[in-house]
Chains A and B, each alone.
Chain A
Amino acid sequence: MKAIAVNGALARALDFRNYGVNFFAGALLALLTILVGAPVLMVMLMSLRTGFPGEGGPLTLTNFVQAYTDPGTYEILLNTILFATGTVTVTLLFAVPLVWLLMRTDMPLKGTVYVLMTVGILIPVFLRTIAWILLLSPRIGLVNQWARQIFGMEQPLVSLYNIPGMAFIQGVSFVPAAFFMLAAAYRTMDPALEEAAYTSGVSKLQTFLRINIPITLPAIAGVMVYLFMTAIAVFEVPAIVGLPARILVLSSLVYTSTNPPTGLPNYGLAGAYGGIMLAAGLILAYFYVRLVRQGKKYTVITGRGYRPREIALGKWKWSALAFAMLYLSMEVFIPFLVLVWTSLLPHLRLPSMEALSSVTLKNYVTIMDYAGTRPFINTAVLMFGVPSVTMLVSVLVSWVVIRTHVSFRGILDTMAFLPHALPSILLAVGLAYLGLAYRNVFPVYGTIFIIVIAHTINWIAYGTRTTNSVMIQVHRELEEAGKVSGASTPRVLGRIVLPLVAAGVFNSWIWVSMLSYREVTMALTLYSRKNVVISTVVWQFWGNGWVPEVAALGVILIAFALIVVGALKLGFSRLGEYGSGS
Chain B
Amino acid sequence: MIRIRGLKKWFKTRHGQVEALRGIDLEVGEREFFVLLGPSGCGKTTTLRCVAGLERADQGEIEVGGTTVSSPEKGIYVPTEKRDIGMVFQSYAIWPHMNVFQNVAFPLIKGRRQIPRHQVAEKVSQALKLVQLGGLEDRPATDLSGGQQQRVAMARAVVTEPTILLMDEPLSNLDARLREQMRLELRKITRSIGVTTLYVTHDQAEALSLGDRVCVMNEGEILQIGSPQEVYSRPQNLFVAQFVGEMNFIRGRLSGDGQVESPFGKVRCALPQGCQRGSEVTLAIRPEHLTLQPRAAAGAACVEAKVLTKNYLGDAALLEVDACGVNLRVKLAGDAAFAVGEKAVLVLPPDRWSVYA
User: Measuring CB to CB, which residues of chain A are less than 8 angstroms from any residue of chain B?
Assistant: 190, 192-193, 195-204, 206-207, 210-211, 214-215, 217, 297-298, 300, 302, 304, 306, 309
Contacts and interface: CB of A to CB of B under 8 A. Distances in A.
A224 to B, nearest CB: 17
* Residue picked from A192, A201, A215, most chain B C-beta under 10 Å: A201
Most buried by A among B111, B113, B166: B111
Nearest 8 CB-CB pairs, A to B? A201-B112, A200-B107, A201-B111, A192-B93, A199-B87, A198-B80, A196-B93, A302-B91
Given A192-B90, A309-B55, A200 B96 contact: no
B91 A201 contact: no
B81 A304 contact: no
Contacts of A204: 79, 81
B110 interface: yes
Given A197-B106, A201-B82, A202-B81, A309 B56 contact: yes
B217 interface: no
A200 B91 contact: no
B93 A202 contact: no
B87 A196 contact: yes
Interface residues of B, number: 34
B106 A190 contact: no
Contact of B156 (A195, A200, A215, A304): A200
A195 B93 contact: yes
Contacts of B112: 200-202
B58 to A, nearest CB: 13
B110 A202 contact: yes
Given A198-B81, A204-B81, A298-B96, A210 B89 contact: no
Nearest to A199: B87
Interface in B22-50: 45
Given A198-B81, A201-B111, A210 B90 contact: no
A190 B95 CA distance: 10
A388 B113 CA distance: 61
Contacts of B153: 196
22 contacts: A190-B91, A190-B93, A192-B91, A196-B93, A197-B81, A198-B79, A198-B80, A198-B81, A199-B52, A199-B85, A200-B106, A200-B111, A201-B82, A201-B112, A201-B113, A202-B111, A210-B110, A214-B97, A215-B97, A300-B91, A304-B90, A309-B55
A193 B142 CA distance: 13
Interface of B: 45, 52-56, 79-83, 85-87, 89-93, 95-97, 106-107, 110-113, 142, 153, 156-157, 160, 166
Nearest to A218: B97
Contacts, number: 92
Contacts of B79: 198, 204
A304 B110 contact: no
A195 B54 contact: yes
Contacts of A195: 52, 54, 80, 87, 89, 93
A201 B90 contact: no
Contacts of B156: 196, 200
B89 A196 contact: yes
- Kindly name the residue among B86, B106, B156, B166 whose own CB sees the greatest number of chain A CB atoms within 10 A: B106
Given A198-B80, A302-B91, A297 B106 contact: no
Contacts of B83: 199, 201
A426 B8 CA distance: 63
Nearest to A204: B81
A195 B156 CA distance: 13
Nearest to A308: B54
B22 to A, nearest CB: 19
B166 to A, nearest CB: 7
Contact of A297 (B52, B80, B81, B96): B96
Given A198-B53, A298-B142, 15 more contacts: A190-B91, A193-B95, A196-B95, A197-B106, A198-B54, A199-B81, A200-B106, A202-B107, A202-B111, A203-B81, A211-B95, A298-B96, A300-B96, A304-B90, A309-B56
A304 B52 CA distance: 19
Contact of A304 (B91, B95, B97): B91
Contacts of A217: 97
A190 B250 CA distance: 46
Contacts of B106: 197, 200, 202, 210
A195 B52 CA distance: 9
Contacts of B52: 195, 198-199
A203 B80 CA distance: 9
Contacts of B45: 306
B294 to A, nearest CB: 48
B82, B107, B113: most-surrounded residue (chain A CB, <10 A): B107
Give the most central of A196, A204, A215, A298: most B CB within 10 Å: A196
B204 to A, nearest CB: 20
Contacts of B166: 199
Contacts of A302: 90-91
